[in-house]
Amino acid sequence: APLVMNLTRPERVQPAPGVLHVVPANGGGVDRCVRDLCRWRASDAIVHVTDTQHVLEWPGSGTFVPLDAALLSDLALGGNWGRPAAVHAHSTAAPVRQFCQTLCGATGVPWVLTLHDIGFTEPAASPFEREQRLRFARAAAARTAPSAYIVDVVQRSLDGAPCRLVENGVDHWADASPGTTCAAAPEGCFSIAVIGAIGEHKGLNTLLEFAVHLPPTLRVVIIGYTAQQLLPGWAVPDRVWMHGVFEPCDLPTLVRRYAVQWAFFPPGVPESYSYALSDAWLAGLPVAVPD
């Protein structure tokens, strides 16, 4: 069984000198990218950070260690985190910054930063928070981004600081899992698919307005879920059906079941590397996307 511990006293929690990937606890494409990296680098570990708790994970062994965030300084200064080869930050959010600065300050290990999206220049952030994100990005030993668009934003925001393009990429799927099901789905065709987790920042409101104006013969299936609804059901009665959570390798089967002809990506915040777009292409779908 996986080891699960709640450390209330300093103990060594980093057994190998791999790279420690630091991620915010909100999943999505960042989590998928990091897990791809850890499949190739068995000694790497992931730490999921929040304001109050960090969870250290070794994906190769299914081991998890929850830690009170207040213990971070004591554990780092006491050497109990060991000495990773490097710390790889995957966000500029405050909990990620604090973790990296504390651990790297105590160990002398450098941190590198991948900027997966434009959150580091978030206009809604306070001027202080925005400056802290930019300062953290400047201080990284190296920066990467998964698209030329984000690289350009980084260089303009950081006064020409170097940022290397490293596209995430996807492996072709194995066969669909035998558990693929659409038991709750209504009968008939859903010509248009929207793929992935769709929130307001991903164009959810635009999608719902768009669907209302389609002719009755064109219905939409969300292969995924929305910020408002997780379980299968109608998002808009007789217009937009929500399938729910799925495995990417099951997408071709779902496309056939719903008789999807093309995928639609509603306008939202600017994207970087889009796993959902790669998944749509791998499933053989043409797509309509914002520029």
User: For residue 281, what pLDDT band results from cuts at 50, 70 and 90?
Assistant: very high
Of all residues in the chain, what percent carry a pLDDT higher than 90? Answer: 55
CB 75 within 8 A of CB 82: no
Model pLDDT, residue 180: 65
For the ranges 45-54, 145-154, 222-231, which has the lowest average pLDDT? Answer: 222-231
Judged against a pLDDT cut of 70, whether residue 3 lies above it is answered with: no
Left, alpha or beta for 116 (phi > 0: left; psi -120 to 50: alpha)?
alpha
| Residue range 128-141: mean pLDDT, rounded | 94
| Residue range 245-255: mean pLDDT, rounded | 91
Judged against a pLDDT cut of 70, whether residue 206 lies above it is answered with: yes
- The Cα 14–Cα 170 span in angstroms is 29
For the ranges 8-22, 122-136, 194-208, 224-238, which has the lowest average pLDDT? Answer: 8-22
**How would DSSP label each residue in the chain?**
---B--BSS------S--EEEEEETT-HHHHHHHHHHHHH-TT-EEEEE-SSEEEEEETTTTEEEEEEGGGHHHHHHTTTT---SEEEE---SHHHHHHHHHHHHHH---EEEE--SGGGG-TTS-HHHHHHHHHHHHHSS-EEESSHHHHHHHHHHTTT---EE-----PPP-SPPTT---TTPPSS---EEEEEEE-GGGTHHHHHHHHHTS-TT--EEEEEEETTB-SSEEEETTTEEE-----GGGHHHHHHHHT--EEE----SPPSS-HHHHHHHHTT--EE---
CB 110 within 8 A of CB 133: no
Pairing verdict, β 86-89 and 111-114: parallel
CB 38 within 8 A of CB 98: no
Digit-coded pLDDT (tens) for 53-106: 999 999 988 889 998 989 888 888 887 777 889 999 999 999 999 999 999 999
What are the residues facing 220 on neighbouring strands?
192, 240
- The Cα 148–Cα 124 span in angstroms is 23
Model pLDDT, residue 1: 30
User: In terms of Cα–Cα distance, which of 85, 76, 99, 124 is closest to 23?
Assistant: 99
Neighbours of 278 (CB within 10 A): 14
CB 279 within 8 A of CB 250: no
Judged against a pLDDT cut of 60, whether residue 4 lies above it is answered with: no
Judged against a pLDDT cut of 90, whether residue 122 lies above it is answered with: no
Of all residues in the chain, what percent carry a pLDDT higher than 70? Answer: 91
Please state the pTM of the whole predicted model.
Answer: 0.84
Model pLDDT, residue 124: 73
Judged against a pLDDT cut of 50, whether residue 138 lies above it is answered with: yes
Digit-coded pLDDT (tens) for 144-201: 999 999 999 999 999 989 999 999 988 887 766 665 667 678 888 999 999 998 888 8
Model pLDDT, residue 8: 43
- The Cα 194–Cα 266 span in angstroms is 8
Model pLDDT, residue 184: 77
279 Cβ contact partners less than 8 Å away, ≥ 6 residues apart: 170, 195, 196, 248, 251
User: How is residue 67 written in tokens?
Assistant: 């830690």
Model pLDDT, residue 179: 58
| Residue range 129-151: mean pLDDT, rounded | 95
